[in-house]
């Protein structure tokens, strides 16, 4: 009978200790150690339980030069969802391990099941450890636009192996299982092109004696999925839970092991969802995808600027439009500000979707450089649409909204802003300003304020920006006083 041992793991970073500690020496967090029972020797002797096909490339056991490495460049697998392709960097990479995290009920399972149903050319295995087959079938009938179509039919993997279908080019198979050994047995028999795990916290491996969802189980199950994905070149999607702090549950090493980390965000009381790239080894880590939650599933939003801008019949003070970038996508967002007299001794400073410290910096610049008395005022900022923006190019739009609310003077209709504000009050240049101008022109704006430092000087060799090809009126400004002089006289 194998001996067992007890170890203590940090729930934050996965640090292992033979005894309980109050403070983790690795991540410096308090009261994060939990007790787990581990079977001695099994974890280190774990072997792959899946079948490696003959055409799988074996890894070299000796070091080789980069120039001597040969590979066949394969195209990415494009999904019908353009927003999903965008956040992945252009499609699904063979052998990649993707982790998707988000709050409960935000739509992670809906997104992945909808993706599995709409890929008829691939054999997709959807492994669920949280729902039964009937529950998944009910959700699939709601998501599929033509629920009776054989292309979107869901079958159990065991019955499908016994009675294979020859008329369907691609199918979605459902397997309700939590043991990784049983999952790999079904994968060996089915040989799917794509595997979806819902969720990684429900899986358990026989090599670890601890309970499912523990630090050691999550780490071991992810390691097994990683070995399977790399050795068979099969992409695997993992759905992960998050903690009350908003971080993905499990050790931090979980995010380091996978190739791509996606965060599914949004308010459950609103219809819009945001799929944000946190980490991506095969593309940009700053891409953004926007979806609309509807009764029949998630609908991709191809033009997010239209949903982030409200339609008003009359101009209102404290509202401006700013041009921002999320990855390679230009967007126009509505920035709102409310400045009022403070009813208490200490004025309030609240920002939704924007960094509060940067808001304090903008208020200090407006008071020091422009002479606006805002020290005794309550200031509230809001980025509409429920998104969070870190682009410094919205500084100018926020400053204009603050002064517009302070003076109770509305900004002219169809006016856009794209500029970063420095501590001395200068308007600094922003990157890819031409894309921002083109987006504002496409949505019918009349004028846009940009920094004069975005225009290359005549002595430089780089090509000078041609402003004549734009129909929009481009206002060239150098300081924040100049902006307010043109807006409010």
pTM (predicted TM-score) = 0.74
425 and 350 within one domain: yes
Q: What is the pLDDT of residues 105-147, one digit of tens each?
A: 888 999 999 999 888 888 999 999 989 999 998 888 888 655 4
323 and 288 within one domain: no
Interval 351-378 mean pLDDT: 91
What's 458's domain CATH number? 3.30.230.10
318 and 295 within one domain: no
The answer to whether 286 and 277 are in contact (CB under 8 A) is: yes
Would you say residue 479 lies in a domain? Answer: yes
Q: What is the pLDDT of residues 184-201, one digit of tens each?
A: 999 999 999 999 999 899
Would you say residue 273 lies in a domain? Answer: yes
pLDDT at 84: 93
Question: How confident is the prediction for the chain on average, in pLDDT?
Answer: 82
Question: If DSSP states are collapsed to H, E and C, what string results for 383-450?
Answer: EHHHCCCCCHHHHHHHHHHHHHHHHCCCCCCCEEECCEECCCCEEECCCCHHHHHHHHHHCCCCEEEE
109 a known binding residue?
yes
CB atoms within 10 A of CB 407: 15
Instruction: Dig out the tokens for 416 from the structure.
Output: 């856009």
Task: Reply yes or no on whether the pLDDT at 473 is more than 60.
Answer: yes
**Overall domain count for the chain:** 3
Measured CA to CA, the distance from residue 381 to residue 384 in angstroms comes to 10
Residue at which a domain ends, from 283, 302, 321:
302
245 and 154 within one domain: yes
Would you say residue 183 lies in a domain? Answer: yes
**Domain, as residue range, for 419:** 308-488
Would you say residue 55 lies in a domain? Answer: no
489 a known binding residue?
no
pLDDT band at 44 (very low <50, low <70, confident <90, very high): very low
282 and 362 within one domain: no
φ/ψ of residue 136, rounded to 5: -70, -35
179 and 111 within one domain: yes
Measured CA to CA, the distance from residue 240 to residue 211 in angstroms comes to 16
Would you say residue 53 lies in a domain? Answer: no
Task: Reply yes or no on whether the pLDDT at 417 is more than 60.
Answer: yes
30 and 9 within one domain: yes
Interval 304-310 mean pLDDT: 76
Measured CA to CA, the distance from residue 373 to residue 402 in angstroms comes to 12
Would you say residue 67 lies in a domain? Answer: no
228 and 85 within one domain: yes
312 and 176 within one domain: no
The answer to whether 155 and 173 are in contact (CB under 8 A) is: yes
pLDDT at 74: 64
35 and 181 within one domain: no
Would you say residue 49 lies in a domain? Answer: no
What's 140's domain CATH number? 3.40.50.300
424 and 348 within one domain: yes
106 a known binding residue?
yes
103 a known binding residue?
yes
Task: Reply yes or no on whether the pLDDT at 158 is more than 70.
Answer: no
Residue at which a domain ends, from 268, 302, 336:
302
DSSP 179: B
Residue at which a domain ends, from 302, 317, 336:
302
17 and 102 within one domain: no
């Amino acid at each position: 009978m194998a001996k067992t041992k007890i170890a203590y793991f940090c729930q934050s970073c996965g640090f292992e200790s033979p005894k309980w500690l109050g403070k983790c020496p690795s991540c410096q967090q308090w009261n994060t150690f939990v007790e787990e029972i581990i079977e001695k020797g099994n974890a280190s002797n774990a072997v792959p339980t899946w079948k490696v096909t003959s055409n799988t490339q074996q890894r070299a056991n000796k070091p080789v030069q980069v120039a001597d490495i040969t590979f066949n460049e394969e195209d990415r697998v494009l999904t019908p969802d353009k927003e999903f392709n965008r956040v992945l960097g252009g499609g699904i990479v063979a052998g990649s391990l993707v982790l998707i995290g988000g709050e409960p009920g935000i739509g992670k399972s809906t997104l992945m099941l909808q993706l599995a149903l709409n890929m008829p050319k691939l054999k997709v295995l959807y492994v669920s450890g949280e729902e039964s087959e009937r529950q998944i079938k009910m959700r699939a009938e709601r998501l599929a636009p033509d629920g009776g179509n054989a292309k979107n039919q869901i079958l159990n993997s065991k019955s499908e192996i016994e009675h294979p279908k020859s008329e369907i080019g691609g199918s979605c198979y459902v397997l309700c299982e939590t043991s990784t050994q049983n999952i790999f047995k079904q994968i060996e028999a089915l040989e799917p092109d794509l595997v979806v795990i819902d969720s990684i916290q429900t899986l358990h491996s026989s090599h670890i004696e601890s309970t499912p969802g523990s630090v050691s189980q999550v780490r071991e199950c992810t390691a097994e999925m990683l070995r399977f994905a790399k050795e068979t070149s099969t992409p695997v999607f993992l759905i992960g839970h998050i903690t009350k702090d908003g971080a993905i549950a499990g050790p931090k090493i979980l995010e380091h092991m996978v190739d791509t980390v996606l965060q599914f965000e949004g308010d459950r009381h609103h219809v819009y969802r945001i799929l944000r790239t946190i980490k991506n080894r095969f593309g940009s880590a700053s891409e953004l995808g926007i979806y609309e939650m509807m009764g029949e599933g998630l609908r991709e939003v191809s033009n997010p600027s239209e949903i982030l801008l409200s339609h008003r019949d009359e101009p209102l003070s404290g509202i401006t439009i700013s041009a921002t970038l999320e990855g390679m996508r230009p967007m126009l967002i509505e920035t709102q500000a409310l400045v009022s007299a403070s009813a208490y001794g200490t004025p309030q400073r609240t920002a939704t979707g924007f960094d509060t410290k940067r808001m304090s910096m903008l208020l200090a610049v407006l008071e020091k450089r422009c002479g606006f008395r805002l020290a005794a005022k309550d200031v509230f900022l809001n980025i509409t649409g429920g998104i969070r923006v870190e682009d410094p190019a919205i500084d100018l739009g926020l400053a204009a909204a603050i002064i517009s609310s302070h003076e109770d003077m509305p900004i002219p209709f169809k006016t856009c802003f794209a500029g970063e504000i420095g501590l001395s009050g200068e308007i600094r240049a922003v990157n890819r300003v031409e894309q921002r101008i083109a987006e504002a022109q496409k949505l019918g704006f009349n004028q846009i304020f940009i920094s004069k430092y975005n225009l290359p000087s005549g002595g430089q060799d780089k090509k000078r920006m041609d402003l004549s090809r734009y129909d929009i009126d481009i206002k060239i400004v150098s300081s924040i006083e100049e902006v307010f002089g043109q807006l409010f006289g």
